[in-house]
Structure 1
């Protein structure tokens, strides 16, 4: 079809997009409802009136329904009231229902649902036996007294839960309505079109890890609920389920224990349908702090060392599995049991790779599981987390039984370290593979815990690769305090539900769609652009790594100061902050609490931090030469330091102090990898002369000129002039990835290596003004070789010259750097960029074409530069 297509084709595309928008993010009056079981604000044919003239339909559920279904049904009833303004009737007796009703139940467990199946009123064969699948279908005259119903059928209990909360989101109730105070728009009429739709997850276990939670999450929970207890977890569980997640690693920083701190925690997780786990270093459901808290009661004691204290450790772990099966009636609380062992306090277990010892530990743990559950060990879901040095055991040949899920990890900074290799037959194992990912981390080269600095484009690129390579059993992400990771967590769990639907095109559309769902369609594009712009700027340097020496200043003139690179970055932040202020002014008053949490505070706080360090940099530079302009910048440091505290206070005052304590994380003036004990203003110096009233002509450099500095030419990789596909592969720009407009990635991911002669390349035309040897450099978003080989390769050439193969070889290090690859990795994660380069001799001035060739998978190029080489090769 020619570009633009026919009028009919364009109409169909627009209609499909509109329905998808409705399907994912709620209703808008202007959009036609044509797909089966879609949500709209007007009646269409045989549609079901969920809310009509302000009156919600009744909700019917079996009296003996699973508690998880009961919790979700109650939540949905509250959602209907939020939308309509009137309470929905919640019924357990079908004889009392009349008119229209929403019927919710589980296939094979609900007499009402099974009766509808038996009578031929509904067909649920497409979801029968499927994990967490659901079907929503409009049915005429399903039961006596009910003229029309919307039936939500779950293939299992969580299928019913997800089918219910899916409808809540589609009628305009954000999963974040409580956890980020996202308001719900009132609607007098909401209809569901005739027909049915079904859905199911593609990743089996999907969830997050509350970690590094002191002082923020813990302090907040103590103020709001009296501790990290079942009252707090009730909110966490609901958020998880509304996001269609099913799996949680609970908060565990000492001295916390999910089981000991509040016995109601385990019961509530089961009642609501949440699958519990424990973190990568907490075997057999035991929180690490339990080892120290239970000393002397017969289940713990001595050193955390299997060589010298195996009997006590086995008794301790046995207690964890006994607790798991204590539900009664031969049933166990749902849990994915962590196996393996690390050292006490999340440290390496041994100085060397203790493969034989760890194999013995896992075998003994599985014996405990089998003995206590009374079933073969392979009937209890288990996971072995290949985190940090534990991956070395795997790389050295350690294996566990096939039913154990192998949980690969990233490097704690967003780069996945290892993935299964389909070419080696890795996908045959029954337990499958998963990924443990990080939005938050405590460790080297420095902690990052305060604020969201994660690009969803990077999350997409890494997790799309993971899914393509067969890691489909378990995805879990470390979210620290949950807030302020709302945006990337929302994306992560939406993608985990169906990675196949989260295409590159869906990724591009996500920011605006998320904004429309959260703040309405009027400013969706602008807010989505702000979110992408924020993450691009935040990705340049995590705030904990930022200081007055992070970027270069320009020249100090007598009458003017050149802001240099630092000034250009600060100017970008100022521009973003001004745009954010403009958006805020146009929001309704009831939207501003959510806005401040999700966008306003991150933008204001991080831009202010850049202003603080920028002023500190100028103060230091000017004071060193006794320049009185230093005093102006000393005042600016003091003002921005005070503003940081004021912004935190504003956050803690939201909604009557609902979030007090949540932004208590120390986030400035780091000198080592770990937290400072308190917020400390950067040092300033004053000189004797009076300070002038203004900046005396500080001129930031506005971005980078297209021709670059001098003979250097810099090209944003997203500005692809030509992308030549080959073999089903093509380069594609990913907007929210890297530090420019976007990075190019070869898609689809998960394919074997290719050679330059396949013609798969991206091309860029440049005109150089110099002759001689030329250096072409590629700035890459950091990635790792997930195959365990020697690095990720990419090709570069110019004109018709031979391709040079470049290798990005980064090696994460849990300890001190002692190899060039480890040193390069540290530099790469600090700068969130890594450079590779090639030199081409005897280049003439004039027009040339630079070509980028895909060799290996998992490569992302965000900038190309050409300049004179210092010397010919």
Structure 2
């Protein structure tokens, strides 16, 4: 029963419970087989779910589970209250209280009843409040016996069990937190459509009813109920195939459409200019209304959510006669009025068709400009396409009878750059944005744009589990717990934590820069690959550190792969291995390419090696994608995976820079902190002295020794002081080892100490520290023909006021702080700072909560009422400084709030910092490409010594990631330098 227990851990638990006792119920035990009993007059989805459960039992046990075998000793009796004669009889006979189920939305109970009839010893009774509730209840049993919702879509083969015996706790599951929950199949051109048309459903040559049936089954298994069907021009419209809507109704799936598809119409595929004229409501409204009426009549007897309003063709702005906003608003109001009349005419008497309005892109501007929207229409708020909700309901909007919803992306085609290949949306960010949306009233509709479904499996399930039962996700650690339980269900308890930690590392690297953004290019128009912002000669070499991180991910996932049972190997490949190997190799392709270009400029022979590694990474992606499509599951997924959606520059085969060939081989030397190599022929090149080693930060620096020209060359390093520690002191460079990186550290117990003074020197440039505080030595780099001396300077004073100091300290002219590492914090009148883990460049962010707290903008009110973070720091310099704050680039909750905090050093007045962006500005583009918003303020450090940085909440919800106090020493880098903590 191993997987029964793990699955029970994973389940999102019900809201209420009838009993804490468990009752044994055998499905298969010692040759005895339970059967499933349903009323054939119940909804079609009940019969389908029964069939799925029966097949699942067979997969687990190898034995057939018969449906409607009347004489079985043990029976699973399932049905919809008021629709199933068997359920009605059980309720009546046992005088059951079904008040917590009756008339509820998608609610179900599971309980065991002894001797429900003369021939039945035990019955596992599933009562659904409606047809979907019953189906969910049946598939809950599938989960309990160890069948993953991804059994088919990710080939999670169930664990075999000779006996299947459940221990049932009588429970009521539901109502769901969000009424309509589902996915949007989008940008299907490179995967789902080709796979369906050429592989799974060639008889249709498209995404048709056979494909949708498998998608709908997945949705039921995930307790979802809604889909926005695929809608690109490569796919015919959902209603083009009459059987699609029949299959959707059989599976009890609600059909909706995106912001660009009004009234369940696919404008991309259905609008014919030659017959219908221009798609312009100001000049051709009658023709457009004809299409709306046709679809309303066609779908009148089916569940659907009708998107109101209108955009232009191909997801573009609506074309109107006049260019001013008020004219556009007025016309859009007329569109909505006409649409509602059409729906009213084609609805059953007294029934209002569910309607949604999606304020996306320019439509949000129209809404903000005063568009009059009927109260019963759901406002479906959108993210900015990169995972940050643009706006949420204010207090007045939260009272709307139509409620609100969310349209969220984990896949996107568009500016500033696509991310259509892998899932690179941090699940903790999605949790933060979705719980925020729910808190602000988005509880009616949740739709996830998940592209081709694969490889978004985990985030799809997380999104839908939150929508099912949001209360299980109140705390920040809920996502990690959810992932551990998910991993346990899919790959076993012994691997669950390791897989989760691996995926969290993967997501943090993707948060710092999505793999699809590693070319530093943009789209619409498509630009060539650009110059990386990652530094290669400051702060331990950001390119090298990222290479190391991704190579470590690859090593770990390969080791884990060896521990996965063979029957789960294909699932592991799809859910873990391919995403990590793909993302890491796309990173490595570009990182090694940047290395190649950089070292070629210094004449290093290793440029060829880096070019080779870049090409090898590209070939690995190609090989793994070919395996995914052509070998995995004997070609089941042929055409599903493209390694180059839209064939953008980021996916291209890498090019290489070739160094100028030297006539004679020589030893090259490069030291951290310098773009140029050490060159004794250049007077005062300043590239032959290491940055100052600081006793208070215990930093380390690297030096590269490299071959210029071909052949062999032996080298030796001789430190001139016993306190200089080298990671290696000698070696040989040849065709197998073209360069080597040596790390230099200090044995601080052996370094002579500077003067014992109360205070540090005032106002000195950090590179010009008085001799009394600095110890100088050197390292000789020796080859057969030459000796080069590299300077080593150590800052090792003994300041009494730094004894036992626990704060941050200046290093090389800056102080770097991770926001979560505050010295102290003080609660405010309504709010306090707390920490979210799993987010940000450092893996943790400081966030001001609750989100309902009042914003404070007046300086005196900020000081009196707002929560404050304090950071102790120490400087050796003084004067005007720049305080840089890096935040997660969220948006204001609504028009009545902002994304602000306030900053001051020591006793200065707080200065407000605002991270908010508007529209699709250049700042917003850079923010979402980097997942960071950086703002700075000027402050005064009036003396060297101890200081306090204070950060107050102005608006709740701000998520601070990193802080940098720059006294003039910060060099260009992508991320802030590592913390300078004592």
TM over 0.5: yes
User: Aligned-pair distance for 1:616?
Assistant: 1.3
Q: Does structure 1 residue 434 correspond to structure 2 residue 405?
A: yes
Is the 2:278–2:284 Cα contact (8 Å) retained in structure 1?
yes
Distance of 1:251 and 1:184 partners within structure 2: 30
Q: Does structure 1 residue 487 correspond to structure 2 residue 467?
A: no
Distance of 1:57 and 1:708 partners within structure 2: 72
User: Aligned-pair distance for 1:50?
Assistant: 3.5
Q: Does structure 1 residue 858 correspond to structure 2 residue 957?
A: yes
Judging changes above 3 Å, is the alpha-carbon distance between structure 1 residues 795 and 570 closer, same or farther for their aligned structure 2 residues? Answer: same
Distance of 2:269 and 2:257 partners within structure 1: 12
SS at match of 1:452: coil
Aligned position for 1:593: 570
Distance of 1:605 and 1:499 partners within structure 2: 32
Distance of 1:699 and 1:265 partners within structure 2: 64
User: Aligned-pair distance for 1:410?
Assistant: 0.9
Is the 1:457–1:737 Cα contact (8 Å) retained in structure 2?
yes
Alignment of 1:186-265 (within 5 A): 186-187=160-161, 188-222=163-197, 223-226=199-202, 227-265=206-244
Is the 2:18–2:171 Cα contact (8 Å) retained in structure 1?
yes
User: Aligned-pair distance for 1:213?
Assistant: 0.7
Q: Does structure 1 residue 782 correspond to structure 2 residue 889?
A: yes
Distance of 1:658 and 1:699 partners within structure 2: 49
The one of 426, 443, 461 aligned to 1:472: 443
User: Aligned-pair distance for 1:799?
Assistant: 4.8
Distance of 1:536 and 1:622 partners within structure 2: 28
Q: Does structure 1 residue 104 correspond to structure 2 residue 78?
A: yes
- Residue deviations 1:467-506 (CA, integer Å, cap 9, x gap): 1111111011111111111111111111111222211232
Distance of 1:614 and 1:418 partners within structure 2: 36
SS at match of 1:434: strand
Aligned position for 1:520: 492
Is the 1:567–1:701 Cα contact (8 Å) retained in structure 2?
no
Judging changes above 3 Å, is the alpha-carbon distance between structure 1 residues 515 and 719 closer, same or farther for their aligned structure 2 residues? Answer: farther
Distance of 1:175 and 1:438 partners within structure 2: 22
- Greater mean deviation of Cα atoms: 494-503 or 333-342: 494-503
SS at match of 1:473: strand
User: Aligned-pair distance for 1:397?
Assistant: 0.4
Alignment of 1:686-765 (within 5 A): 686-687=658-659, 689=661, 692-698=735-741, 710-720=812-822, 722-727=824-829, 729-754=831-856, 755-758=862-865, 760-765=867-872
Aligned position for 1:31: none
User: Aligned-pair distance for 1:388?
Assistant: 0.5
- Residue deviations 1:18-44 (CA, integer Å, cap 9, x gap): 9997544279xxxxxx98778xxxxx8
Aligned position for 2:34: 57
SS at match of 1:208: strand
Is the 2:813–2:968 Cα contact (8 Å) retained in structure 1?
no
Is the 1:799–1:849 Cα contact (8 Å) retained in structure 2?
yes
Judging changes above 3 Å, is the alpha-carbon distance between structure 1 residues 437 and 580 closer, same or farther for their aligned structure 2 residues? Answer: same
SS at match of 1:605: helix
User: Aligned-pair distance for 1:721?
Assistant: 5.2
Is the 1:101–1:146 Cα contact (8 Å) retained in structure 2?
yes
The one of 284, 295, 304 aligned to 1:335: 304
Distance of 2:450 and 2:568 partners within structure 1: 24
Judging changes above 3 Å, is the alpha-carbon distance between structure 1 residues 857 and 112 closer, same or farther for their aligned structure 2 residues? Answer: same
- Greater mean deviation of Cα atoms: 225-234 or 624-633: 624-633
User: Aligned-pair distance for 1:59?
Assistant: 1.2
Is the 2:810–2:873 Cα contact (8 Å) retained in structure 1?
no
Is the 2:102–2:129 Cα contact (8 Å) retained in structure 1?
yes
Alignment of 1:54-93 (within 5 A): 55-91=32-68
User: Aligned-pair distance for 1:340?
Assistant: 0.8
Distance of 1:687 and 1:837 partners within structure 2: 40
User: Aligned-pair distance for 1:592?
Assistant: 1.7
The one of 359, 363, 366 aligned to 1:386: 359
User: Aligned-pair distance for 1:520?
Assistant: 1.3
Q: Does structure 1 residue 322 correspond to structure 2 residue 322?
A: no
Distance of 2:808 and 2:635 partners within structure 1: 48
- Greater mean deviation of Cα atoms: 567-576 or 624-633: 624-633
- Residue deviations 1:544-577 (CA, integer Å, cap 9, x gap): 3212732334349xxxxx9711111111111222
- Residue deviations 1:695-722 (CA, integer Å, cap 9, x gap): 41257999xx996862433233344554
Judging changes above 3 Å, is the alpha-carbon distance between structure 1 residues 200 and 727 closer, same or farther for their aligned structure 2 residues? Answer: farther
- Residue deviations 1:152-210 (CA, integer Å, cap 9, x gap): 11111111112222232233211111111112122324322353333220111111100
Q: Does structure 1 residue 796 correspond to structure 2 residue 903?
A: yes
Aligned position for 1:11: none
User: Aligned-pair distance for 1:433?
Assistant: 0.7
- Residue deviations 1:405-427 (CA, integer Å, cap 9, x gap): 111111111111111111xx222
Is the 2:809–2:874 Cα contact (8 Å) retained in structure 1?
no
Judging changes above 3 Å, is the alpha-carbon distance between structure 1 residues 99 and 644 closer, same or farther for their aligned structure 2 residues? Answer: same
Distance of 2:561 and 2:946 partners within structure 1: 46
- Residue deviations 1:564-608 (CA, integer Å, cap 9, x gap): 111111111112222222211211122221111111111111111
Is the 1:409–1:418 Cα contact (8 Å) retained in structure 2?
yes
Alignment of 1:292-307 (within 5 A): 292=271, 301-307=276-282
Aligned position for 2:506: 534
Distance of 1:363 and 1:355 partners within structure 2: 12
Q: Which has the larger radius of gyration?
A: 2
- Residue deviations 1:592-643 (CA, integer Å, cap 9, x gap): 2111111111111111112111221122223345543322222223222222
Distance of 2:536 and 2:338 partners within structure 1: 63
Distance of 2:537 and 2:371 partners within structure 1: 57
Distance of 2:397 and 2:496 partners within structure 1: 43
Is the 2:73–2:119 Cα contact (8 Å) retained in structure 1?
yes
Judging changes above 3 Å, is the alpha-carbon distance between structure 1 residues 681 and 710 closer, same or farther for their aligned structure 2 residues? Answer: same
Judging changes above 3 Å, is the alpha-carbon distance between structure 1 residues 688 and 22 closer, same or farther for their aligned structure 2 residues? Answer: closer
Query: Aligned residue pairs: how many?
Result: 806
Is the 2:193–2:234 Cα contact (8 Å) retained in structure 1?
no
Is the 1:563–1:699 Cα contact (8 Å) retained in structure 2?
no
User: Aligned-pair distance for 1:45?
Assistant: 6.9
Q: TM-score, normalised by structure 2?
A: 0.78
SS at match of 1:448: coil
Distance of 1:520 and 1:763 partners within structure 2: 44
SS at match of 2:940: strand
User: Aligned-pair distance for 1:789?
Assistant: 5.1
The one of 255, 262, 269 aligned to 1:276: 255
Distance of 1:392 and 1:75 partners within structure 2: 46
SS at match of 2:292: helix
Distance of 2:897 and 2:316 partners within structure 1: 27
Is the 1:791–1:807 Cα contact (8 Å) retained in structure 2?
yes
- Greater mean deviation of Cα atoms: 605-614 or 121-130: 121-130
- Residue deviations 1:767-824 (CA, integer Å, cap 9, x gap): 44443344332211111113125741112344555433211121232xxxxxxxx221
User: Aligned-pair distance for 1:51?
Assistant: 3.8
Is the 1:211–1:253 Cα contact (8 Å) retained in structure 2?
yes
The one of 579, 599, 614 aligned to 1:637: 614
Distance of 1:139 and 1:250 partners within structure 2: 41
Is the 1:36–1:197 Cα contact (8 Å) retained in structure 2?
yes
User: Aligned-pair distance for 1:258?
Assistant: 4.0
Is the 1:255–1:289 Cα contact (8 Å) retained in structure 2?
no
- Greater mean deviation of Cα atoms: 221-230 or 193-202: 193-202
Distance of 1:118 and 1:747 partners within structure 2: 50
SS at match of 2:586: helix
Alignment of 1:501-650 (within 5 A): 501-504=472-475, 505-547=477-519, 549-555=531-537, 564-650=541-627
Judging changes above 3 Å, is the alpha-carbon distance between structure 1 residues 506 and 641 closer, same or farther for their aligned structure 2 residues? Answer: closer
SS at match of 2:422: coil
Judging changes above 3 Å, is the alpha-carbon distance between structure 1 residues 802 and 89 closer, same or farther for their aligned structure 2 residues? Answer: same
- Residue deviations 1:366-417 (CA, integer Å, cap 9, x gap): 11112223546x7111111111100111000002211111111111111111
Distance of 1:837 and 1:19 partners within structure 2: 53
Which structure shows the higher strand fraction?
Answer: 2
Is the 2:74–2:121 Cα contact (8 Å) retained in structure 1?
yes
The one of 467, 484, 491 aligned to 1:496: 467
Aligned position for 1:670: none
Is the 2:25–2:167 Cα contact (8 Å) retained in structure 1?
yes
Q: Does structure 1 residue 829 correspond to structure 2 residue 936?
A: no
